[in-house]
Structure 1
Amino acid sequence: MIQAIKYNLANLTNFSGRDARSTFWWYVLFIVIAQFVVGLLASIPLITAGVGTAMDAAQSGADQATMQAEMMASMAGAMDTAIWVGVAAEIAVVLLLLASFVRRLHDSGNSGYWAAIPVVTQLAGVYGEITMVDRAKELMVISADPSRMDEMQALQAEMMAAPLTWIPYIGLIVIIVFGVMKTEHGANNYGEPPAV
């Protein structure tokens, strides 16, 4: 596992040659774990803002509804940071995975141009996240008011139905399908079988 991670990190700009399935998937696991940790760390300011506001409201004697509304408004304000860190992490994942996926495509005898599908779909998803920042903040504020439950559910449905929220899954399916393809035995158009 460590060898696969080191190999891929050392070959971030190497789009030639071939990578075995195990080399590719250990590296993908590493990237997924790293992205999870970054997302967790990015959520700390969001949680801290909400809890701090709730504590201040509780100390000032606010009722539960007021406290919850203030907490959600505070979290909505801190959501920008979390979303932008998430966007940066997604772009980093695309860049970290690109050369490895191209080499994996080569190993199964496929053109590296297939990697354009996940790149385009992930970037479309990133664009979708950026365009929905204000809607996500609005959802946080609305969710604090029980009388606006119908409005909240309508906004959630609208956000989930937006094509840019599900288009990235097409790219993930492409990665999974090509990532599990068998290695071509012997040399192919892209070189000798992978040593790693």
Structure 2
Amino acid sequence: MFEAIRHNLTNLANISGRDSRSTFWFYLLFLAIVYALFSFGLSIVAGGAIAVDAFQAARDGADEAAIQQNVMSGMGNMIRISMWGSVIMSFLMTMLLAASFTRRLHDSNKPGWIAGVAVGLQLLSVALTIGMIGEMVSFVGSLKTEDPTAMQVAVQAHRTKYALSGLLSWVPILLVIVFGIWPSSDGDNIYGPEPEHL
């Protein structure tokens, strides 16, 4: 596993040759773990800040409505931080995975432009997310906690509005999964000799 990670990290700009399924999937697992740890850490920090602010407001004698409004304001900041964190990590993960995915495509005797399509769609999804950050923060700030039914209706309408861009982000993931598990071509192919299984 560690050899597969080292191999991919030392070949970040190398789109020639082939990588076996095991090499590709060990590396993808490593990237998924890094992404999950980053997201978890970011959530703990941002969520902890909201909790500390709420406890401080309660200790200072604020009423329940003021505490709830303070929490909603903190949620807006948390959304901004987590969305920007997601944008940065998605961009980095895309760049870290592009060459490896290309070599994996070559191993199954598929052209590398499929990786270009996946990267392009992922970058489009990242751009759409950047465009939504300000609106999402404003939307959360506009929610009124004293009317839970109206708040739930507003959240559902907002979710529906952005469903298409959310679906777009799944297309590159599906491409990586489908072509990542595609069987290797036996022996040498036009992209090079059969790779070692790291």
Q: Considering the TM-score relative to the shorter chain, is it more than 0.5?
A: yes
Any gaps of 5 or more consecutive residues in structure 1?
none
Identify the residue that residue 5 of structure 2 maps to in structure 1.
5
Identify the residue that residue 132 of structure 1 maps to in structure 2.
132
- Partner AA of 2:169 in structure 1: P
Where in structure 2 are the equivalents of 1:142-153 lying within 5 Å?
Answer: 142-143=142-143, 145-147=145-147, 148-149=150-151, 150-153=153-156
- Partner AA of 1:158 in structure 2: K
Identify the residue that residue 42 of structure 2 maps to in structure 1.
42
How much has 1:155 moved relative to structure 2?
Answer: 1.8
Moved more, 100-109 or 112-121: 112-121
Where in structure 2 are the equivalents of 1:31-180 lying within 5 Å?
Answer: 31-143=31-143, 145-147=145-147, 148-149=150-151, 150-159=153-162, 161=163, 163-180=164-181
Identify the residue that residue 185 of structure 1 maps to in structure 2.
186
The alpha-carbon distance between structure 1 residues 113 and 107, as it changes in their structure 2 partners (threshold 3 A), is same
Q: Hey, what's the Cα distance between the residues in 1 that align with 2:144 and 2:30?
A: 37
Instruction: Give me the identity figure in percent.
Output: 35
* 8 Å contact kept, 1:118–1:168: no
* 8 Å contact kept, 1:42–1:86: no
Q: Hey, what's the Cα distance between the residues in 1 that align with 2:173 and 2:155?
A: 29
Q: Hey, what's the Cα distance between the residues in 2 that align with 1:146 and 1:137?
A: 19
Q: Give the total of aligned pairs.
A: 194
How much has 1:80 moved relative to structure 2?
Answer: 2.5
TM-score by length of 1: 0.91
Q: Hey, what's the Cα distance between the residues in 2 that align with 1:21 and 1:96?
A: 17
- Partner AA of 1:153 in structure 2: Q
TM-score by length of 2: 0.90
- Partner AA of 2:193 in structure 1: E
Identify the residue that residue 195 of structure 2 maps to in structure 1.
194
CA deviation vs aligned residue, 1:40-67 (integer Å, no higher than 9, x gap): 2222342133112201220122233321
Q: Which fold has the larger relative contact order, with Cα–Cα distance below 8 Å and residues 6 or more apart in sequence?
A: 2
- Partner AA of 2:154 in structure 1: E
Q: Hey, what's the Cα distance between the residues in 1 that align with 2:50 and 2:159?
A: 21
Q: Hey, what's the Cα distance between the residues in 2 that align with 1:46 and 1:138?
A: 18
Any gaps of 5 or more consecutive residues in structure 2?
none
How much has 1:171 moved relative to structure 2?
Answer: 1.1
- Partner AA of 1:75 in structure 2: M
How much has 1:14 moved relative to structure 2?
Answer: 1.0
How much has 1:34 moved relative to structure 2?
Answer: 0.3
